[in-house]
Amino acid sequence: MSLWFQNENRLPQTRLTVISYSIVGLMALLLLGFWKLQIVNSDRYSQLAERNRVRSIPIIAPRGAMLDRYGRVIVDNYPSFSVLLLRDDPQQVERLLPQIADGLDVTLDDIKQQMEAATALPHFQPIVIKPEATPGDIAFIESHRADIPVLEMLMVHRRRYPHGGFMAHSSGYVGEVSSEQIEESGGRYKPGDIVGKAGLERQYNDHLMGIDGMRRSVVNSVGREVGRLEQTDAVPGKPIRLTIDYDLQLVAEEALVGKKGAVVAMDPKTGEVLAMASQPSYDPNDFAIRISKDEWQQLNEDPERPLLDRAIQAQLAPGSVFKILMATAMLESKAVPADYHVFCPGSAEFYGRVFHDWDAKGHGDVDVHKAIVHSCDVFFYNLGKQLGIDRISFYAGNLGLGHKTGVDLPGEEPGVMPSEAWKERLFHQKWYPGETISVAIGQGAIAVTPIQLAYVIGGIITGGRFHQPHLLLTNEAAPEIDFPISDSTVNTVTEGMYGVVNEQGGTGSGSKLPGIELCGKTGSAQVISNQGLARTGKQAALKDNAWFVGFAPRQNPEIVVSVLVQGGQHGATAAAPIARDVVKAYYDKKQGKIAPQQLTTQAVPPGIPPSFAAQAAARAAQSEPVAEEGVPTKPDAAPTKPQPVSTTPPVAPPATMNP
């Protein structure tokens, strides 16, 4: 053995001690690190650990159905599957994406877009990449469970609406909640929730929408489920019973097919809406899955504006229907005697202008009854001059014009009832007396909605008791506004309206119903003044809007129907027959002549003839643009956003007026 180890140097004891202390110091430092993680930040890491091991998959609560007043199903759900993407392992997802896109028959960009939209959500939350799974998709997912473990099926309840846009505007539609709605909801909605976007779906969303449940399971680090935790069951949404009578609704819808307009039928004693239709329409089923940008744009930009609920949103001049309000104002104000009468030669001059009657031959000596029955313009021109705009405006306003009726639907428009103050406020202009003459026959700046006319006429003929229109059937009485009207006035107006339909020479006599005391008033309102018409040169495109508001029976009326047919020309021929059909159906049913449609089990009303849907489709194809002056422009199809009040520009006094 060599002597290499015979080193006589002393051991470096100090340096060894220094090393000992260093080790103790470093260990203490590491222990401090553990203290910080395990004691100081323990809660945070416990949450992260919990998030790691628990995967939550929602259990979607079904939405409540919509039933008609007899309990027949109008809107309900059907079971369906959505494809969920589990994003716990982004690298794995990234690798499998092309295969997934191929198998589900979607584009890669589409999936990536949806993943980007969900970047704000925590990673453990799965996202829906295909809302409606086809049987092929389900087979694909099942057969690739092992090699594509990131796909999962989610059972959902899809909304099912009647086909062809039946009652679409009232029912509305559902869609994915918007970020603004989430903010407004104060935590009730979460991203991805399906909520009502329009119509009753939106109005009664809180009632219809259930509370989603949650299935929580324990997963391991590769995302395989290894255990179940407690499950929160879904609370289904509650159904709503509507005041709508499906049979009347069907008559109204069918009568409007191919036309542009609206029908509102209600019980004037309660405010219950029995039927409410608007055409052209759209198919809310298109919204039930996920509407594409193109489809949405097309609906939005369609010149026919199918998304507009004309029953509550079309603001148009009422034409001669306004004469009922004039007669009421005259009799109630007593500004002129009740036997006030005028000689009608076919035209009259006011303030240096000649105003024509619709009937150039004239109506001879006219009192208020005859004026209503024949819809004599000259009588009301004179009456208007006698009453003055402020008195007219006072009565019309109290009878309900210029205010929302308060119907339980989002997006109702208030219409316009002009007055001196109104014009001063809006246009900073003086009121010209000549304008009063136009207003007296329901032209000029007046704008009303179909539901408003049903509400106003219904209130007048029940002695001034205005019941708030509503579509939700409840035991509680709807709010009521009273503006008492004397019996004699009600009587005079009712007799006049009875005469319109039932007297020789009445403007609505073509719609007489044997055995039924149908009363009503026709109206044909110009869309634009004759001068304007000449300017634009679009004779055909600007046909008059036809109105008819009718009720039955003469005493204690049970039903009031308001009909608008845009471009229908004559109230008597275009609108009155529709009101007559609805009233007839009401009586036929009451007298047991037609059996109520049986719909208790099916969601899709079998009563809707196939032609209804077919015609609806054909209608969508041909779109002849018709100018709609007075109908507010809808910048957004969701009819719930507040919009600027549309005001009909004051038009020059028309030369002639149709009844």
Partner 1 sequence: MSEGTGILRDYDWWLLTIIFAICGVGVIEIWSATHTSHLAGMHWKQVWWIALGLGLMMLLSRLDYHSVLDKAPILYVIGIVALLAVLVAGHTRYGAKRWLPVMGEFFQVSEIAKLIIIVSLARFYAEVRTERLSIADLCKAAALTAVPIGLILLQPDLGTAMVLVPVVAVGAYLAGIQWKHAAAMILAAALMVPIGWHHLKPYQKDRVTTFLRPEEDPKGSGYQILQSKIAVGSGGFWGKGLGNGSQNQLGFVPVRYSDFILAALAEELGFAGVFVTLVLYTALLLRLIQNAQHAKDRAGMFLVMGVAAILGFHVLVNVAMVIGFMPVTGIPLPLMSYGGSAMLFVFLALGLVMNVRLRRFVN
**Contacts with partner 1, residue ranges (CB under 8 A):** 1-2, 4-5, 7, 9, 11-13, 15-17, 19-20, 23-24, 26-27, 30-31, 33-35, 37-39, 41-42, 44-46, 48-50, 52-53, 88-91, 123, 218-222, 226
> In the bound complex, what is the minimum distance in angstroms from residue 219's beta carbon to partner 1?
7
In order of 50, 278, 315, 491, 603, the CA distances from 160 in angstroms are 39, 19, 31, 47, 7
> In the bound complex, what is the minimum distance in angstroms from residue 36's beta carbon to partner 1?
8
> In the bound complex, what is the minimum distance in angstroms from residue 17's beta carbon to partner 1?
8
Q: Residue type for 177, please?
A: V
DSSP 507: T
Token pair 């919990």 is found at 50
> In the bound complex, what is the minimum distance in angstroms from residue 106's beta carbon to partner 1?
24
CA angle 591, 594, 597 (to 5 degrees): 130
CB closer to partner 1, 91 vs 622 = 91
> In the bound complex, what is the minimum distance in angstroms from residue 151's beta carbon to partner 1?
18
> In the bound complex, what is the minimum distance in angstroms from residue 91's beta carbon to partner 1?
7
Structure tokens at 308: 């507009």
CB closer to partner 1, 17 vs 99 = 17
279: β partners: 261
What is residue 96's three-state secondary structure? helix
What is residue 77's three-state secondary structure? strand
| Sign of the alpha-carbon dihedral angle for 303, 305, 306, 307 | positive
DSSP 243: S
CB closer to partner 1, 22 vs 623 = 22
CB closer to partner 1, 89 vs 517 = 89
CB closer to partner 1, 94 vs 624 = 94
Q: Cα–Cα distance between 413 and 402 in angstroms, integer?
A: 9
CB closer to partner 1, 45 vs 343 = 45
Residue 56, φ and ψ in degrees, nearest 5: -110, 125
What is residue 403's three-state secondary structure? coil
CB closer to partner 1, 27 vs 421 = 27
> In the bound complex, what is the minimum distance in angstroms from residue 74's beta carbon to partner 1?
48
DSSP 58: E
CB closer to partner 1, 91 vs 556 = 91
CB closer to partner 1, 123 vs 641 = 123
> In the bound complex, what is the minimum distance in angstroms from residue 288's beta carbon to partner 1?
35
Q: What is the dihedral angle through the alpha carbons of 331, 332, 335, 336, rounded to the nearest 10 degrees?
A: 10
Q: Are the CB atoms for 262 and 279 separated by under 8 Å?
A: yes
> In the bound complex, what is the minimum distance in angstroms from residue 146's beta carbon to partner 1?
17
> In the bound complex, what is the minimum distance in angstroms from residue 41's beta carbon to partner 1?
5
Q: What is the 3-state secondary structure (H, E, C) of 565-604?
A: ECCCCCHHHHHHHHHHHHHHHHHHHHCCCCCCCCCCCCCC
CB closer to partner 1, 31 vs 614 = 31
Give me the helices (H) in 67-126, please.
90-104, 108-117
Q: How many CB atoms lie within 10 A of CB 222?
A: 9
CB closer to partner 1, 9 vs 555 = 9
> In the bound complex, what is the minimum distance in angstroms from residue 184's beta carbon to partner 1?
33
Q: Are the CB atoms for 216 and 54 separated by under 8 Å?
A: yes
Q: Are the CB atoms for 461 and 559 separated by under 8 Å?
A: no
465: β partners: 482
